Amino acid sequence: MIYPKNFETKIGFDEVRGLLKQHCLSVLGKEMVDRIGFSSQPDTIREWLCQVSEFRRLLAEAENFPLQFFFDVREAVARLRLEGTHLDESELFDLRRSLDTINGIVAFLRKPAEDDENAFPYPALARMAEDVMSFPQIVAGIDRLLDRFGKMRDNASSTLLGIRRELSATENSISHTLYSILRNAQREGLVDKDVAPTFRDGRLVIPVAPALKKKIRGIVHDESATGKTVFIEPAEVVEANNRVRELESEERREVIRILTEFAAELRPHVQDILHAYRFLGLVDLTRAKACLAEQTRAVEPRVEARAHIDWIGAEHPLLQISLAKQGKRVVPLDICLTPERRILIISGPNAGGKSVCLKSVGLLQYMIQCGLSVPMTDRSTAGIFAHIMIDIGDEQSIADDLSTYSSHLLNMKQMMRHADGETLLLIDEFGGGTEPQIGGAIAESVLRQFCKRGAWGVITTHYQNLKHFADSHEGVVNGAMLYDRHEMRALFQLAIGQPGSSFAIEIARKTGIPEEVIRDASELVGSEYIQSDKYLQDIVRDKRYWEGKRQTIHQHERQLEERIRRYEQEIKELEQSRKDILRRAKEQAQELLSESNKKIENAIREIRESQAEKEETKRIREDLNAFKKEVMEIDTKAEDELIARKIKQIQERKERHAKRKKEKAEANEAAAEKLRQAAAKKAEEARPIEAGDTVRIKGLTSVGRVEAMDGKMAVVIFGDMRTKMRADRLERAQAPKREETAQALSAGSRMTRETIDERKLHFKQDLDVRGMRGDEALTAVTYFIDDAILVGMSRVRILHGTGTGVLRQLIRQYLSTVPNVTAYRDEHVQFGGAGITVVDL
């Protein structure tokens, strides 16, 4: 329950609605802003806040989220429920674009996460879109009817295509006839040289001077405002203009018929489309909430399913925005209401921030339960209240016979009737508006009823008896708005635990009230009251000082605890890291030992096979024993530096032995290879040259192949040349590698393919040779046709113009000689006629 009816106006939430509307993209979102309502369901509120949090993250992370077309065509769509109705072209175009946006949003939000196909990157937003249909078929259907400018396509139906073609031809005919008549009239001096045809009532007419209107046979449709010009429709085009009107009517009827048929296809989906538009409005609303949260530097606090308030650094959002324009900042509010301290009695000087504090609590709590982010720190937690009631301002009404105090009493009656453990009461200037003594007594009695009912509240007052009540009753606590007595200014800081002074004497003295008046007032209230007020001020001052000290100490304690925790964690990590290093070092040492043992044994075997000396074998075995000894010296409790040094020494020894073995093996292999090559060369040289051998002329580098032998003469092929020479002039040579030849061929093929792809990328199907000479045009056409054949085009066009027809004849004579040209002909008359040749390849 929210009380009274103008609750939102009293706390300023209507201004928050206005800010949200400024961030909306469409009427859909603004209507959703008007529907924002208070909820007391924790799960619902958490879901709303999760949606806002995820949308803020989405706006920061995603650059391709569709937010471009938020059109409201719900009224037009709802109209389709009636048979025979249709959407006009603009409405259908807006429907197409907004449905496309809905499709994009649903697809984006329902797209699974990359690392988990069963999860979504933005789960709360995905749940919001889970029952929303997308309409790709409807979008495709609209695309078949409308072009990208939202106009009906000519090919939407064959009938429409025929009507528009006839309409175009008729209008062209009228234009030619009218210009012919106009030129004749200009030659005869009936019309000025700079006059052009114009439209009147949708018909083409000629402007003529009134004195000469009888010289041109036709119908006068209009005259200028000055009467110096009349507009005549020549008789020669009257019938044609009539036909244009008829064709336009037929065109409109055909368009309506097409739209009506498509409306019949849309009609079964009307309810789903309207639901999708509600989703689009929710997206707009959630985006507006996210933008407002960014504007006010707000957070989504943790919401608990119980009544309580624990806010740190809370700020009034409207005051924050207002002060930001002046380059100022709001003093943050720390407030905590618990079951042990449910009702907070705030006292302090006038204009010290009591009412702002009370309004801040009401507005922020209401915003949270409406699913809005609030400006406070992320360490804050919020509770849920079933009822929020406020009494602030003057509700007097002459019509209702209500005075200021009676209106307050009426509000108190409603609050006592509905107050319970889930009610938050906000009362400003409690007990004011009547004689202080009885007013304070009634206020104390009402406060006692609130305590019995377990209500929660924030109450501001100046009455001493209410301050004393808070000190003597459980569940009620005093709070003070701090005031700097030395600088005589309000600090706007709330201190919970002690009552505040009104600082009436100090404020009166600051405003310039005569000292005599202040002295008389002090004598009237008595020295005891003045002294008690001063003691209260001193208590508040001391409390403020020690509270600052306590916060500083508490902050240092938290820093110390965090540092100790971090050190303990680092010590654990270091100990674990030390154990891991020791374990890995021993394992690595064992692996090195085993591997070294194998390699050394292999080296020994190879040395024996190579008949090496025994001293070398003995030295290698001694090195092996040294490895074993060094590894065994490594104890699990050794320091990390010693382990690293031992491992490095072992690795260096291993590398030296491996290098020595590799060098010996390479030397042996090189010697064996030289022996093999020498033996093969001798054997090859001893064999006589035969047909098929690869040879070269002694002293030259060119390599050829022997085709045949004729005694001591040999027939040799060098490249594409065949020659006959004596065999003793030839010597065997190494045949060129096939890979080199294949690589050359492959490189040539790749270059050819790249050239074709480059030509295909930049090829244009139209060639313009207008203005060229005959030989220049033929050269251009030759290259153009060759490129077209190369890239695989099936049809191209050559623009040569009409002129004398010589260029057209030369080009066609050339085309008739090209085998790949299957046909050539003039372009359609609507697209250039005889001035363009269409070539089929």
Neighbours of 66 (CB within 10 A): 17
> What radius of gyration do the chain's Cα atoms show?
49
As a whole number of angstroms, the distance between CA 223 and CA 238 comes to: 18
**Tell me, what amino acid is at 74?**
R
Residue 606: pLDDT band (50, 70, 90) is low
Instruction: Report the C-alpha dihedral over residues 283, 313, 351, 4, rounded to 10 degrees.
Output: 40
Angle formed by the axes of helices 270-295 and 42-61, nearest 10°: 80
User: Are 314 and 375 a contacting pair, CB within 8 Å?
Assistant: yes
More confident site: 127 or 740:
127
Residue 400: pLDDT band (50, 70, 90) is very low
As a whole number of angstroms, the distance between CA 701 and CA 694 comes to: 12
More confident site: 622 or 639:
622
Neighbours of 762 (CB within 10 A): 9
Alpha helices in 370-435 (DSSP H): 404-418
Q: Global pTM?
A: 0.60
Angstrom CA distances, 350 to 435, 492, 502, 692, stand at 19, 11, 7, 118
Is the sign of the CA dihedral 615, 616, 618, 619 positive or negative? positive
Q: pLDDT for 237-277, tens place per residue?
A: 788 888 888 998 999 999 999 999 999 999 999 999 999 99
H/E stretch holding 125 reads helix 123-128
- Res. 136: pLDDT tops 70: yes
> What DSSP designation does 153 have?
P
Task: State the residue for tokens 């009544």.
Answer: 307
Q: Could you give the percent of the chain with pLDDT greater than 90?
A: 35
As a whole number of angstroms, the distance between CA 270 and CA 82 comes to: 11
Beta bridge partners of 425: 389, 457
**In the sheet that 730-732 helps form, which strands lie side by side, from edge to edge?**
721-726, 713-718, 703-710, 694-697, 730-732
- Res. 611: pLDDT tops 60: no
As a whole number of angstroms, the distance between CA 479 and CA 457 comes to: 12
- Residue 736 φ then ψ, to 5°: -60, 145
Spacing of C-alpha 454 from chain mean position = 48
Spacing of C-alpha 361 from chain mean position = 34
Q: Which residues neighbour 381 within 8 Å (Cβ) at sequence distance 6 or greater? A: 301, 302, 303, 304, 308, 310
Report the SS3 class of residue 418: helix
Residue 152: pLDDT band (50, 70, 90) is very high
pLDDT at residue number 517: 81
As a whole number of angstroms, the distance between CA 546 and CA 552 comes to: 10
Q: pLDDT for 668-718, tens place per residue?
A: 667 666 666 665 565 565 567 788 888 887 766 677 888 888 877 888 887
User: Are 684 and 723 a contacting pair, CB within 8 Å?
Assistant: no
484-487: long-range contacts, CB 8 A cutoff, minimum separation 24: 485/537, 485/541
Strand 694-697 relative to strand 730-732, pairing: antiparallel
Question: Which residue, among 98, 100, 107, 103, has the nearest Cα to 126 in the 3D structure?
Answer: 107
Residue 68: pLDDT band (50, 70, 90) is confident
User: Are 823 and 796 a contacting pair, CB within 8 Å?
Assistant: no
554 by Cβ neighbours in 10 Å (0-12 / 13-18 / 19+) ranks as exposed
Structure tokens at 611: 């008949």
As a whole number of angstroms, the distance between CA 419 and CA 791 comes to: 85
